[in-house]
Amino acid sequence: MVARGQDIEEAAGSQEADLLPLESLERCSSMSSIKTKRIYEKPATGDGLRILVDRLWPRGVRKEAAALDQWCKEIAPTPELRKWFDHREDRFTEFKTRYLHELKHNPVVPELLQRIGSRNSTLLYAAHDPAINHAVVLASFLEKQKAKK
């Protein structure tokens, strides 16, 4: 993970039941402390903690312009799952199931939840579709994990 001010290039070297319905997230978005946003959108004061959750650095984004607090590439889907998914809408349901399985066994999840705490946080991603991407699945999963505590 990379904290703001830490060199990004330096760091680069180094089940459905678990999802809240998207409609539920949208209805309670003002109450939710975790939201998603494309990395290509300008940073806003309401973003809170800005966390890039892609495994690969997004094309055309300068690290200064990203205004990241953290790059948590370890939380992204495995390269195999990402390549299989290929952002195809017809594979999204199966992708969610597989990604949730990965998240349940990912040792970075508790660390990320602790870092987020009760702060407003924004999970940043590069995918084109704001509804068919891993950040949406991750945000829902993290909200559900926070609710369990």
Is 74 inside any structural domain?
yes
Is 46 inside any structural domain?
yes
Could you give the number of structural domains in the chain?
Answer: 1
CA distance linking residue 2 with residue 5, whole number of Å: 8
Is 26 inside any structural domain?
no
CA distance linking residue 147 with residue 138, whole number of Å: 14
Tokens of 95: 């992708």
Residues 31-61 have pLDDT tens digits of 548 999 999 999 999 999 999 999 999 999 9
Is 17 inside any structural domain?
no
> pLDDT exceeding 70 applies to what percent of the chain?
79
Is 1 inside any structural domain?
no
Name the band, by pLDDT with cuts 50, 70 and 90, for residue 17: very low
- What's the domain range around 138? 32-148
Is 115 inside any structural domain?
yes
Is 3 inside any structural domain?
no
Is 47 inside any structural domain?
yes
